[in-house]
């Protein structure tokens, strides 16, 4: 698997501050800062060397284009808090350097002059620092270049200890990003989150302690989804250099001042492609003063004096109101040469140019007047027709709206009557339900009172029933004892009736003593021929 390295270049405006700790080079120990800068700019110079103006314009348009500088937010996260504190002190000292000399002069004056009061001993300005030290705002353009150097991850070659996550979705916050790289927190030295005008995404630079750690992070996270919900994946590239340049340090001109007459050349304002003039200061293309005067209006707004005509490459001075520097592009090799004319030829050319300019002026003015009045008539007719149509449309809409409102009013009146009937019915029903509720409450109150009486009566009945049951049980017990006595008497009488007469005579004359014995002992027939019996039972048997 082969990977390529990229170069990240931050082009800053002249007034923008340089972000702290942004510069990085994979070969930092081999080249100095001047050598890195020279190498960086050498590629731009070499790409334009020996090119024709048209090719230069194409290269410049490809690399620089018409992008505008915007505000970029750079948020730095460092693993060592001491480094963050040092960065804050560095920014504080840089911002306070503008007022250091004034404070020094003021202190000298305070020493030389006798203070009148303690308040006069205080300095006029006190330097301070506010805001988040890890967040910086710069103004510029971020460039990303891909180098031609391809290396294999399996090879033991020196690449870089810095990786760049190209597109991180804006829905991921800083906390989500920290959770994503959490397994590698111990080997990450710093992270820089870069947010520019690109919508819905941002870029992250991650500096690792060593290249091996960067390789491990690349193998683990490249092509991996940020989360299980969204489809965005982590796209990683190795960073060979991260550099900061001011816009004035770049030697490449942003605009071609002698462009070839191609079909794309047209006025920036009205879009016409004839009689075009290009500003030699900023590259603005506008039409001539006999078309819509956009080139001259550009001079009035910016005071950029010199403009060149694209057809014959002559330079016009708006301040002196004449041609200057007869320099034109050679049709053979495209180089800039001096336009020379001699004697009568030059004079005739001037006369022809004046006649042509006068004819062109008169024709253009008449044509412009005709076009102006025709356009004005057409515009008035169009505006009048549009106004009439708008009034008809509004009148029709008003009638329809009135009809709709009348229908709506009738519907609302019917709905109101229906609601009033329902309200009357509901009021009657509510009154009836209120009466029933009151009756139910009274009935409930009576039932509760009856319930208390019945509960008391039930308790009394239960008490009487319990006493009756106790008496019944006692009576049953006594009856059972009497029944046992009767059965005993009958059994005894039956047994005596079967005895001999002498025995019956003896029993009648004798007495029976009942001894207290256990329930298990059976009555014995011995004891002098006397049977066990209760005392006095024999008398009842006579």
The arithmetic mean of pLDDT across residues 491-498, rounded, is 84
Mean pLDDT of the chain: 76
**Worst-scoring range by mean pLDDT, 276-280, 364-368, 425-429, 467-471?**
364-368
Domains with residue ranges and CATH for the chain:
2-81+132-246 (3.30.70.330), 265-324 (3.30.40.10)
The arithmetic mean of pLDDT across residues 479-486, rounded, is 91
| Strand locations in 225-329 (E) | 236-246, 276-279, 285-287, 306-309, 315-317, 322-324, 327-329
Q: Which pLDDT value is given to residue 320?
A: 75
Tokens of 367: 């044509």
- 3 state DSSP class of 164: strand
Dist CA 429 CA 427 (whole Å):
5
Top pLDDT among 178 and 528 is at: 178
What pLDDT band is residue 204 in, cutting at 50, 70 and 90? very high
Q: What is the pTM of this model?
A: 0.40
DSSP code of residue 232: -
pLDDT surpassing 50 at residue 532? no
Q: Which pLDDT value is given to residue 108?
A: 44
The arithmetic mean of pLDDT across residues 330-348, rounded, is 54
Dist CA 453 CA 459 (whole Å):
10
Q: Which residues have CB under 8 Å from 456's CB, separation 6+?
A: none
């Amino acid at each position: 698997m082969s990977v390529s390295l990229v170069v990240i270049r931050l082009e800053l405006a002249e007034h923008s501050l340089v972000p702290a700790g942004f510069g990085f080079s994979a070969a930092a120990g081999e080249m100095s800062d001047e050598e890195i800068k020279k190498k960086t700019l050498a590629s731009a110079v070499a790409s334009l060397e020996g090119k024709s103006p048209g090719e230069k314009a194409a290269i410049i348009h490809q690399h620089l284009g018409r992008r505008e500088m915007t505000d970029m937010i750079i948020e730095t996260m460092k693993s060592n808090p001491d480094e963050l504190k040092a960065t804050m002190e560095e920014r504080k000292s840089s911002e306070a350097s503008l007022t250091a000399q004034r404070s020094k002069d003021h202190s000298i004056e305070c020493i030389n002059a006798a203070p009148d009061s303690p308040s006069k001993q205080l300095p006029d300005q006190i330097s301070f620092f506010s805001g988040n030290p890890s967040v910086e705002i710069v103004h510029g353009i971020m460039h990303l270049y891909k180098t031609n150097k391809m290396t294999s991850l399996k090879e033991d070659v020196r690449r870089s200890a810095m990786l760049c996550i190209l597109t991180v979705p804006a829905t991921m916050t800083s906390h989500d990003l920290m959770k994503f790289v959490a397994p590698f927190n111990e080997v990450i030295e710093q992270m820089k989150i870069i947010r520019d005008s690109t919508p819905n995404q941002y870029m992250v630079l991650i500096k690792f302690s060593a290249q091996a750690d960067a390789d491990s992070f690349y193998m683990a996270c490249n092509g991996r989804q940020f989360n299980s919900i969204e489809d965005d994946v982590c796209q990683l590239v190795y960073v060979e250099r991260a550099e900061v340049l001011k816009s004035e340090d770049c030697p490449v001109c942003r605009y071609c001042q002698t462009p070839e007459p191609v079909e794309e050349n047209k006025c920036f304002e009205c879009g016409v492609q004839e009689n075009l003039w290009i500003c030699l200061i900023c590259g603005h293309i506008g039409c001539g003063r006999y078309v819509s005067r956009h080139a001259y209006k550009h001079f009035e707004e910016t005071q950029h004096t010199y403009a060149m005509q694209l057809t014959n490459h002559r330079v016009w001075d708006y301040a002196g109101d004449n041609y200057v520097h007869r320099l034109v592009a050679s049709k053979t090799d495209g180089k800039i040469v001096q336009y020379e004319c001699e004697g009568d030829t030059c004079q005739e050319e001037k006369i022809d140019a004046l006649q042509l300019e006068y004819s062109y002026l008169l024709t253009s003015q008449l044509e412009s007047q005709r076009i102006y009045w025709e356009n004005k008539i057409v515009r008035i007719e169009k505006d009048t027709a549009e106004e009439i149509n708008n009034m008809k449309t509004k009148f029709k809409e008003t009638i329809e709206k009135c009809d709709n409102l009348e229908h709506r009013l009738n519907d609302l009146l019917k709905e109101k009557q229906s609601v009033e009937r329902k309200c009357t019915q509901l009021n009657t029903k509510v009154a009836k339900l209120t009466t029933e509720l009151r009756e139910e409450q009274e009935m409930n109150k009576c039932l509760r009172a009856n319930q208390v009486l019945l509960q008391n009566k039930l308790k009394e009945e239960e008490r009487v029933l319990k006493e009756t049951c106790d008496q019944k049980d006692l009576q049953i017990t006594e009856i059972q004892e009497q029944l046992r006595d009767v059965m005993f008497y009958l059994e005894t009488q039956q047994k005596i009736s079967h005895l001999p007469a002498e025995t019956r005579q003896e029993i009648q004359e004798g007495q029976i003593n009942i001894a207290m014995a256990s329930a298990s002992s059976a009555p014995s027939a011995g004891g002098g021929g006397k049977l066990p019996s209760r005392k006095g039972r024999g008398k009842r048997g006579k």
